[in-house]
Amino acid sequence: RVIIDHVEEHTIKLALDAGFWAGLTLYPDSKCSPARAVDMFEVYGPERLWMNSACDWGVSIPLNVPYTALELSRRGHPPDAIDRFIYRNPAEFLSQCPKFRL
């Protein structure tokens, strides 16, 4: 029921091993790039991974989530795995709240 957001290569394993969801926040110059997100996806798989594009106080690229989907495809990941990471995982996590509707 808990997501640890802003994980990076040195913290993702801690979050997942503790049973939490791991949130990858995509930034162009810090935190996590699409390529780094795909690297972590390739190490840890899609289970309990959430990805979002930062659009806050700093430089951001709102389209980083679809750019990450393209990077996954470029690296040969099947459409079902991409759909799980990009769409079904967030839907599954948010569906824990009875008020969430798609």
Other C-beta atoms within 10 Å of 70: how many? 13
The reported pLDDT for the residue numbered 44 is 97
The reported pLDDT for the residue numbered 95 is 96
Residue in this structure with the two tokens 């394993």, named with its chain if needed: 13
The reported pLDDT for the residue numbered 30 is 74
The Cα 38–Cα 94 span in angstroms is: 22
Averaged over successive runs of 10 residues, the pLDDT of the chain (102 residues) comes to 94 98 88 92 95 83 94 97 96 96 90
Question: Residue 51: helix, strand or coil by DSSP?
Answer: strand
